[in-house]
Structure 1
Amino acid sequence: MVLTRQRSKQSILAVLLLLVLVSNYLAYRLPAIPLPADPRGVVIGSMLDLAIVAPVLIVAMTRKKGFTLKRFFTFMVIGLVAARFVIPGEYFEPFKFIPYVAIGFEGLLLLAELGLLFLLAKHLPTIMKEVRSTNAGPLFAFPAHVKNNVSTHPFVSIITAESLMFYYAFASWKRKPPAGETMFTLHQKTSMIAFYVMLIHAIVIETIGIHWWLHGKSMILSIVLLVLNIYSVIYVIADIQTVRLNPLAMRENRMHISLGLGKRMEIPYDAIEQIEWGDGADRYPLKAAGAIEFIAKDMEESKPNCILYFKEPLKATLFMGVEREFRSTAIRLDEPERFRHALEKKLG
């Protein structure tokens, strides 16, 4: 029901966006719609539609990605550039400088982001030293120290996420999975790793076949597809290593739980309000709003062993460093009874 409502809202927003674009395009081209002698007011109205109304609708449609001023400004710039093509040249002439100003502003934002990148490079030795001094592991420690030493800007979060991907894909092979009484794996009794290996084989076979076919038709398209497929293989390899090397870890006052590069969370023990085990966990709706699941992929649908409800929403880090808040989490482990005993001991 919730998914149906969300899709209907997105459909309404998409229709409104289409109406904004089509109405502004036809306003200058239909003889039935006469323009005033001085059309500058109409042109300004169209530019406001394309630079403010359309970006607001797009941001609302993609709200799951989170609202940032950077995303909104980017859509504004795109809208102003699109205005040059929607509004005929003779009407747009007095305002032709505006798209260039918008592009210049976007360029300044890009320079600011590059400055953050140089700042990250400057602090990297200090960050790596701090990461080595902690036992949390790079997956949790590296992003935390980057935020403390550099910035919480989304651009920095994306660079951090990409750095973790390349680290786990190429530089983590000498590491061994941590083991002990406080470590709990989520994937060993599933076919998750086998599924990922089959996925890599499928991507490689598809790359060879489609690249060969596209090369004679469009070299640029074949190269773009090749780069995307290579990136996909690197990401899947990194995801496998991340799952292997980062089991659920019960620290002194919190637990670290992750499932690959695209999902991780810190859960303080004093933030847990209620726990459901057994049949109660089986009946839990995994797609419920405000819920996140840590259940390894398997050939058959897997049920959670436990559900943790939080006293207040907790942040989880998702793909590309995006953060969202959740009120509960569903977890499936390889040793649920041992985990239950250890967690109840921590909670007192």
Structure 2
Amino acid sequence: MVIVSNTRWLWFATLLFLIISSNFLVYRLDALPPLSTEVALGTLFDFVVIIPILTYFFIIRKRHLLRKIWHVVVAGFTGAWFIMPNDFLYPGKSVGIVLFVYTTIILMIKIMSVSKSFRRNVTDIPTFQQRLEYALSTQFTIKRVIDVITSELAMIYYCFFSWRKKPLANLGSVQVFTFHKKTSAIALYIMLIHALILESVGFHFVLLSWSPTLATIVLVLNLYTLLFFIAELQAIRLCPFIMMDQHLHLQVGLMRQLTVPFDKVSNIKYYQGPEKLSKSIQKESFDGVVADLMKEKPTFEINFEMPVEAKMMYGMKRKVRKAYVRPDNPKQFYDALTEKIHKSDEYMKREND
């Protein structure tokens, strides 16, 4: 991790302000004589060369992070493009073309690396969303962008490209447990899809006579919701609960997922609480019970040694202390998880001894 002192930040911000303000004013002060093409080239040099050099020496200062300068070069060129008036933009067109081509090449290389990493981790990371998130994180560093891209690509995948896929099955030490077969979850989403199609068609023609723009916006939103319902249905069908060697992975459709090591699982017990969870309990728990026509009571309550992070769609996260689940085969799930917890406890004791 690179730590930048306040003094270096102050010097960098001062120099950056002087470069940007001087270039901005030189094009807008009427007192100056007519400017030549060389002035525009000087502005490009300041933004594409000088500012990245200052960024490297004042902020980055690490050889292995030199590749990050490219992001500063692109940002500098974009800034120069906005500062220079239209009459002075043509000297930068050739530079812009070079930057665009180079950016495209770098992006294609990253995409190929992501694809390679995604295919390589099929056995280690069984679910599509987790593999995609891991593959993207090896090439891109902005976590929020990765979360959004993962959510959107997962929705596209489950909606259009997962129909020939079979649900995950037991493989070696990996155990899977379905949670939707004894519910009406699939029927619920099919009903919602049919209702949305009928509502979209009828409502669109009503709005069309009143406001074509609003009708188009509502139609696009309904189509997005339709794709989400289809993807959610497929994700529920194809992604059961998974027990791996060291982790328990709970995923309910596209919306909720939780991965917790077995050494952080305190216990599993049959749920004896009220039919409906209170709001205070909901805030600190992971709801692993699938949506249904009439949502059923959880079968098990899984408690954790400490708060663990549950992930929602688009990267939203929440710390939870327990999870509530309702697997289709409760006894098998209970026995398997209990065995995993005991093995983890024994391993920790041996490590401590």
TM-score range, shorter chain: 0.5 to 0.7
The amino acid that maps onto 1:329 is A
Are 1:281 and 1:307, in contact at CA under 8 Å, matched by a contact in 2? no
Task: Identify the match of residue 306 of structure 2 among 272, 297, 312.
Answer: 312
Question: How big is the shift at 1:273?
Answer: 1.7
Q: Deviations over 1:189-219 (max 9, x none)?
A: 0000100011011111111111001111111
Are 1:131 and 1:142, in contact at CA under 8 Å, matched by a contact in 2? yes
CA distance in 2, matches of 1:264, 1:182: 17
Are 1:119 and 1:150, in contact at CA under 8 Å, matched by a contact in 2? no
Aligned to 1:240: 233
CA distance in 1, matches of 2:164, 2:138: 28
Tell me: CA distance 1:297–1:125, structure 2 relative to 1, closer, same or farther (3 Å): same
Tell me: CA distance 1:168–1:121, structure 2 relative to 1, closer, same or farther (3 Å): farther
CA distance in 2, matches of 1:137, 1:307: 23
Question: How big is the shift at 1:299?
Answer: 2.4
Tell me: CA distance 1:121–1:291, structure 2 relative to 1, closer, same or farther (3 Å): farther
Tell me: CA distance 1:340–1:300, structure 2 relative to 1, closer, same or farther (3 Å): same
Are 2:251 and 2:258, in contact at CA under 8 Å, matched by a contact in 1? yes
Does residue 337 (structure 1) correspond to residue 324 (structure 2)? The answer is: no
Task: Identify the match of residue 114 of structure 2 among 113, 122, 127.
Answer: 127
Tell me: CA distance 1:282–1:207, structure 2 relative to 1, closer, same or farther (3 Å): closer
Tell me: CA distance 1:118–1:202, structure 2 relative to 1, closer, same or farther (3 Å): farther
Tell me: CA distance 1:172–1:282, structure 2 relative to 1, closer, same or farther (3 Å): same
Are 1:120 and 1:146, in contact at CA under 8 Å, matched by a contact in 2? no
Identity %: 30
Are 2:307 and 2:319, in contact at CA under 8 Å, matched by a contact in 1? yes
How is 1:1-348 mapped onto 2 (pairs within 5 angstroms)?
122-133=109-120, 134-135=122-123, 136-180=126-170, 182-279=175-272, 285=278, 288=281, 289-348=283-342
Question: How big is the shift at 1:344?
Answer: 1.2
Which runs of 5 or more structure 1 residues have no equivalent in the other structure? 1-100, 105-115
Question: How big is the shift at 1:147?
Answer: 2.2
- For the aligned residues, what is the CA RMSD? 2.7
Are 2:268 and 2:334, in contact at CA under 8 Å, matched by a contact in 1? no
Q: Deviations over 1:175-194 (max 9, x none)?
A: 11112371101111000010
The amino acid that maps onto 2:265 is I
Are 2:129 and 2:150, in contact at CA under 8 Å, matched by a contact in 1? no
Are 1:186 and 1:247, in contact at CA under 8 Å, matched by a contact in 2? yes
Q: Deviations over 1:26-76 (max 9, x none)?
A: xxxxxxxxxxxxxxxxxxxxxxxxxxxxxxxxxxxxxxxxxxxxxxxxxxx
CA distance in 2, matches of 1:311, 1:290: 13
The amino acid that maps onto 2:138 is N
Are 2:304 and 2:322, in contact at CA under 8 Å, matched by a contact in 1? yes
The amino acid that maps onto 1:196 is Y
Q: Deviations over 1:288-319 (max 9, x none)?
A: 13112110122223111111121222111102
CA distance in 2, matches of 1:281, 1:274: 20
Question: How big is the shift at 1:276?
Answer: 2.2
Tell me: CA distance 1:298–1:118, structure 2 relative to 1, closer, same or farther (3 Å): farther
The amino acid that maps onto 1:324 is R
Q: What secondary structure is seen at the aligned counterpart in 2 of 1:188?
A: coil
Tell me: CA distance 1:311–1:282, structure 2 relative to 1, closer, same or farther (3 Å): farther
CA distance in 1, matches of 2:331, 2:143: 40
Q: What secondary structure is seen at the aligned counterpart in 2 of 1:149?
A: coil
Tell me: CA distance 1:244–1:328, structure 2 relative to 1, closer, same or farther (3 Å): same
| Worse overlay, 244-253 or 288-297 | 288-297
Q: What secondary structure is seen at the aligned counterpart in 2 of 1:179?
A: coil
Q: What secondary structure is seen at the aligned counterpart in 2 of 1:303?
A: coil
Which runs of 5 or more structure 2 residues have no equivalent in the other structure? 1-78, 83-102, 343-353
Question: How big is the shift at 1:286?
Answer: 6.9
Q: What secondary structure is seen at the aligned counterpart in 2 of 1:296?
A: coil
CA distance in 2, matches of 1:188, 1:198: 17
Are 2:247 and 2:262, in contact at CA under 8 Å, matched by a contact in 1? yes
Question: How big is the shift at 1:118?
Answer: 9.4
Are 1:263 and 1:319, in contact at CA under 8 Å, matched by a contact in 2? yes
Q: What secondary structure is seen at the aligned counterpart in 2 of 1:320?
A: helix
Tell me: CA distance 1:117–1:155, structure 2 relative to 1, closer, same or farther (3 Å): farther
Are 1:290 and 1:327, in contact at CA under 8 Å, matched by a contact in 2? yes
Count of paired positions: 237
Are 1:272 and 1:311, in contact at CA under 8 Å, matched by a contact in 2? yes
Tell me: CA distance 1:275–1:285, structure 2 relative to 1, closer, same or farther (3 Å): farther
The amino acid that maps onto 1:333 is P
The amino acid that maps onto 1:342 is A
